[in-house]
Structure 1
Amino acid sequence: MLSSLSHFAKSIGALTMLMAAFSLPPDGHAEAMGREKTDSKAEILSMPVIDAMRNAIANRFVLPADLKDAASVHLRFRVRLDRDGRIIGTPDAEVSGGSERTRKIIADAALRAIVRAAPYAMLPKDKYDAWKEVVLYFDASQLNL
């Protein structure tokens, strides 16, 4: 299980963007988007902040080891956060790959980890516009199942 968590931590990265229209492929990263669509400069959070968010989720991620088709599952969660790093509402999820049962199990596990890791107090309050909406990508092929 500990090995799964360390691989999960490696599978999530984070990137903070101000452009809501910007989209990256689901390869294991997080993207935070603000409302300013006219600013073409991307504001990047520091690696310690990104690592802290990644580790907060990874440390709470628990997945059964008996999922045969988990490696083909990709997830995308859109999470809205308040200024204190608490989740607003229920994160929206998009899941693809694997069987219906495996998609549900992995999506539920990822959602629980995201919710349990909140509040994300490591996010700098002065950059709230950059991270008020975060898109988290999970690539289950990076997990040690």
Structure 2
Amino acid sequence: MQRNLSHIAKVVGTLTFLMVAFAFAPAGNAETRAGGKNESKRPVLSIAAIDAMREAVTDRFILPGNLKDAASVQLRVHVRLDQNGRVARAPEVDVSGGSEHTRDIMTKAALRAVIGAAPYVMLPKDKYDAWKEVILNFDTSAFTQ
């Protein structure tokens, strides 16, 4: 069973976890929470910093292997971080698809991963405005592959 959990975590990490939360990418999935007319002057994070945060979260995202409808669940976690990379408030989770049971398990797993990976010391303090609010999108469709 442990091998199965590890495999799922790797699948989430490599194929299905989309952390597009910073201002570096113009793609439609990129999300930040700055707003206002000064948004274009926000600092930009390096891909290495983003990848390090992504890896920290995905290493802790563990799901049981018996979630039959996991592929239909979409998770969006809004995280506010303090300047030391700690989670400043309880993350807000939007979840849809799948059964209520699966949504509950996946929500808890995502929260455990996000909170457990903190503090995010890999994020450069001088670019705090770029990462003080992060939105993590979890695409679980690869669970059926």
Deviations 1:79-103 (CA, angstroms, capped at 9, x unpaired): 1100000001200000000000000
Deviations 1:99-138 (CA, angstroms, capped at 9, x unpaired): 0000000010010000000000111111111111111110
Higher helix proportion (structure 1 or 2): 2
> Partner of 1:49 in structure 2?
49
The counterpart of 1:17, out of the listed 13, 23, 32, is 23
Change (3 A) 1:43 1:63: same
SS of equivalent residue, structure 2 residue 7: helix
> Partner of 2:6 in structure 1?
2
Whether contact under 8 Å (1:17, 1:33) holds in the other structure is no
5+ unaligned residues in a row in structure 2: which ranges?
none
Provide TM-score, normalisation by structure 1: 0.83
Whether contact under 8 Å (2:23, 2:45) holds in the other structure is no
Higher strand proportion (structure 1 or 2): 1
Are 1:89 and 2:89 counterparts?
yes
> Partner of 2:37 in structure 1?
38
Moved over 4 A (4+): 22-25
Whether contact under 8 Å (2:71, 2:144) holds in the other structure is no
**CA RMSD of the aligned region, Å?**
2.4
2:7 partner letter: S
CA distance in 2, matches of 1:16, 1:110: 19
Deviations 1:49-78 (CA, angstroms, capped at 9, x unpaired): 111001000111110000010000001111
CA distance in 1, matches of 2:76, 2:27: 11
Count of residue pairs brought into register by the alignment: 137
5+ unaligned residues in a row in structure 1: which ranges?
none
What is the deviation of 1:144? 6.6
CA distance in 2, matches of 1:142, 1:125: 34
